[in-house]
Amino acid sequence: MDYKTKFIFVTGGVLSSLGKGLASASIGALLESRGLSVTIQKLDPYINVDPGTMNPFQHGEVFVTDDGAETDLDLGHYERFTQAKMCMQNNFTSGKIYDAVIMKERKGDYLGGTVQVIPHITDEIKRRIRLVSDGVDIVIVEIGGTIGDIESLPFLEAIRQFRAETGKNNVLYIHLTLVPYIRTAGEVKTKPTQHSVKELRGIGIQPDILLCRSDRYLPKDIKAKISLFCNVGVDAVITAKDVECIYEVPLIYHKEGLDNRIVEMLHIWTRAPRLEAWEELVKKIKEPKFSVAIAIVGKYTDLTESYKSLNEALCHGGILNDCRVDLMFIDSEKLETGNCGQILAGANGILVPGGFGSRGIEGKILAVQYARENGVPFFGICLGMQAAVIEFARNVAGLESAHSSEFDERTPYPVIYLMTEWYDDKTGTTQLRDTTSDKGGTMRLGAYPCRIKPGTFADKAYGVSDISERHRHRYEFNNTFLDQLETKGLAVSGASPSGELVEIIEISDHPWFLGCQFHPEFKSRPMDPHPLFTDFIKASLGK
Ligand code: GLN
């Protein structure tokens, strides 16, 4: 059978957090730079059906795609490093696979047969891998977790079978391991890598390429040792050296010869890679002329992983401004008891990100007030925009106990509320929000259109009248209060084309004050920074 598409499977060993997501994304970037088209898929071994309900504390950010899938944060890396457009099919979990197989069984699709991990679960996994392969040269598949986890076994068995079915020259296994430097011994150690590869071979997978995470370039003799013990060609032992800036990873891999090895092994003829844009990008990020400090006033502030895309988008916002962006993570609860002025004193700009739950909400509202009253550039995203509306209603429009009905069901001024019926411009239908469903209502998820009002901060940033941005929220701006807030100086600078859903608010009598109901951070790319972040950083620079 002739398979046009080739597949690269990326597994990880020794320990988690070695950067498998970034490795997969960087491999994608390198192959694209050689003129190939790629897509990247993440298979997560955990049982949750999707990461939507997982605590960002534990699992990091939930990344949202245009088609409204709530996915693993690695998909954010894939979109930032490559042209590939992520959708629902680019991420699935064991939970989703089992769910599908059990549903089929209930419907009687297996005609009374015994349903087993092999072949039924593994077949379903392989089917889903093939689903994303249409029209691309290379599918990169990242297997979550670490070799040795019980949950990963069906995935590893499925990718083992994959090569037998798809042909040796069409499938490549890349394994990411750790080669630690042990200070007391004064040398790097290869044993953990040997063990991890041994484990992988025990499952029937011989890796073709090893990516060895290390704080230094591995010398020839160490590579030779790894090659010998792991049965991998010496030139296929690649140092994945620690870097200062994540966008350096593709460059380091290239220097070590990774993309050459991949195209050789997959028997692909391509042009030489064009990496000038990456080199320029890294230079710009590492040697900026200016710097600003941005305060992020949020809840999960101890874990910066929960704001992955946001942190990246802020860094991107600095690129066109020749500016380094230093992030100050501030726990909003601290503002409730402490002195706002003192805590926020060092910030050139203040950002209140998205969030759920009432903890720390008053602190976020205080941060908005501080930014508004002191002319500090302000950017509110999703819950951050809602906090800005609440603050304005309370302190400028005189609606004293205004709130979001998410946090105070009995407020006389629910300026943010659950809109149970709304017009969806995408489908041209009226949508109902089911308020009895879990967690208080159905979310508005994924891409929605928005029309920008001329002469506003939003207009200046985007420069076009119609945009599309990604959403993940339940509550909306309450139009009942629109006139009252507008008369006092709050402007709606973006709304759904029908005009019903408020998407962007701003205060024009301020250096830069903007809140949006959507999450612009999901669409920012290092090569194509999001205009709202660029303008927010520009304003924070005092320009
Ligand atoms: N909790 C708010 C809502 O559901 C905001 C959500 C968010 O910031 N993503 O509307």
Q: What are phi and psi of 308, to 5 degrees?
A: -50, -55
Residue finishing a domain among 249, 281, 313: 281
Model confidence pLDDT, tens digit, residues 22-47 = 999 999 999 999 999 999 999 999 88
Model confidence pLDDT, tens digit, residues 449-465 = 999 999 999 999 999 99
In a domain, 516, yes or no: yes
Model confidence pLDDT, tens digit, residues 368-413 = 999 999 999 999 999 999 999 999 999 999 999 999 999 999 999 9
* CA gap 38, 29 in Å, rounded: 9
- What pLDDT shows up at residue 275? 96
Same domain, 276 and 142: yes
Same domain, 197 and 217: yes
Same domain, 140 and 22: yes
Ligand 1 mean position to 318 CA, how many Å? Answer: 26
Q: Are 157 and 202 in contact (CB under 8 A)?
A: no
Ligand 1 atom nearest to CA at 354: 8
Give the closest residue (by CA) to ligand 1 atom 5: 383
Residue finishing a domain among 281, 304, 329: 281
Model confidence pLDDT, tens digit, residues 319-367 = 999 999 999 999 999 999 999 999 999 999 999 999 888 899 999 999 9
Q: Which residues are catalytically annotated?
A: 382, 519, 521
Task: Indicate if the pLDDT at residue 441 is higher than 90.
Answer: no
| Ligand 1 in reach of 356 Cβ (< 6 A) | yes
Q: Which residues pair with 528 in a beta bridge?
A: 525
- What pLDDT shows up at residue 105? 92
In a domain, 403, yes or no: yes
* CA gap 158, 172 in Å, rounded: 14
Same domain, 247 and 292: no
Ligand 1 atom nearest to CA at 356: 1
Tell me, what CATH number does 255's domain have?
A: 3.40.50.300
pLDDT, mean of residues 182-191: 94
Distance of CA 449 to the CA centre of its chain: 21
Same domain, 383 and 507: yes
Compute how many other C-beta atoms are within 10 angstroms of the C-beta atom of residue 240: 25
User: At 508, is the pLDDT very low, low, confident or very high (cuts 50, 70, 90)?
Assistant: very high
| Ligand 1 in reach of 241 Cβ (< 6 A) | no
Quote the mean pLDDT of the chain.
93
Model confidence pLDDT, tens digit, residues 248-261 = 999 999 999 999 99
Written as six digits, the tokens of 111 are: 């005609």
In a domain, 1, yes or no: no
Side by side, the strands of the sheet bearing 237-241 are 91-93, 38-44, 138-143, 6-12, 171-178, 209-214, 237-241
Tell me, what CATH number does 460's domain have?
A: 3.40.50.880
Same domain, 294 and 226: no
| Ligand 1 in reach of 382 Cβ (< 6 A) | yes
CA 2, 176, 78, 474 dihedral sign is: positive
Q: What are phi and psi of 430, to 5 degrees?
A: -85, 130
Same domain, 489 and 425: yes
Model confidence pLDDT, tens digit, residues 59-94 = 678 899 999 999 889 999 999 999 999 999 999 999
| pTM of the entire predicted model | 0.93
Number of structural domains (the chain) is 2
| Ligand 1 in reach of 536 Cβ (< 6 A) | no
Residue 408: domain span: 288-540
In a domain, 374, yes or no: yes
- What pLDDT shows up at residue 407? 94
In a domain, 487, yes or no: yes
Same domain, 198 and 300: no
Residue finishing a domain among 281, 300, 327: 281
Same domain, 264 and 365: no
Ligand 1 atom nearest to CA at 381: 8
In a domain, 309, yes or no: yes
Same domain, 274 and 325: no
Q: Are 481 and 425 in contact (CB under 8 A)?
A: no
- What pLDDT shows up at residue 299? 81
Same domain, 411 and 315: yes
Same domain, 102 and 145: yes
| Ligand 1 in reach of 354 Cβ (< 6 A) | yes
191-214: burial string, b at 16+ Cβ within 10 Å, e else: ebbbbbbebbeeeebebbbbbbbb
